[in-house]
Amino acid sequence: MRKLPINEIPRLTNEEFKNVEKTPLIVVLDNIRSHHNTGAVFRTCDAFACEAVYLCGITGTPPHRDIHKTALGSTDTVEWKYFESALSAVRELKSQGYTIVSLEIAEGSVQIADYQPPTGQKTALILGNEVKGVDQKIIDISDICLEIPQFGTKHSLNVSVSGGIAIFNLFEKIK
């Protein structure tokens, strides 16, 4: 085996990416404090051709140098929209027929490996604040809460890490 240098890795141009069929998945960031986490989610959404990222509340918006540092230009390829509250974003998505999936440890949550998105259904994945998680008002109107199994003492992953796991998991099931 030979590691491929960056100039040999097949990559789409920004214009080609805009014309690629998108994964019917919108990721909603609910009051994310760290611009680095926001940028990392953009980069993951680019990798899996997600439909969009919705930035809500205190979540930073491009252009910002700290978002750019981890996004590596994906803020130019992934569509995004800002909402003053995640609740208004989720209500809009619900009215458009999206299945609302919150990534949160909650009563009745389903292990992520056991979840199968409804066939042909658009999905909105809600990622919560680094300290408080997904707001309870959003949990109340979610169709399901998914949980990533954890076996250590913290039962907490960085939001960009848990988002990456969930986005990939949903991508594989949707596509």
- pLDDT (0 to 100) of residue 27: 99
In the chain, the domains with their CATH numbers are 17-148+155-174 (3.40.1280.10)
Q: Taken in order 102, 105, 106, 111, is the CA torsion positive or negative?
A: positive
For the whole model, what pTM was predicted?
0.96
Q: In the Cβ-directed half-sphere of 5, how many Cα atoms lie within 13 Å? A: 1
Q: Does 46 have pLDDT greater than 90?
A: yes
Question: Model confidence at 107, in pLDDT bands (50, 70, 90)?
Answer: very high
Q: Does 126 have pLDDT greater than 90?
A: yes
- pLDDT (0 to 100) of residue 175: 86
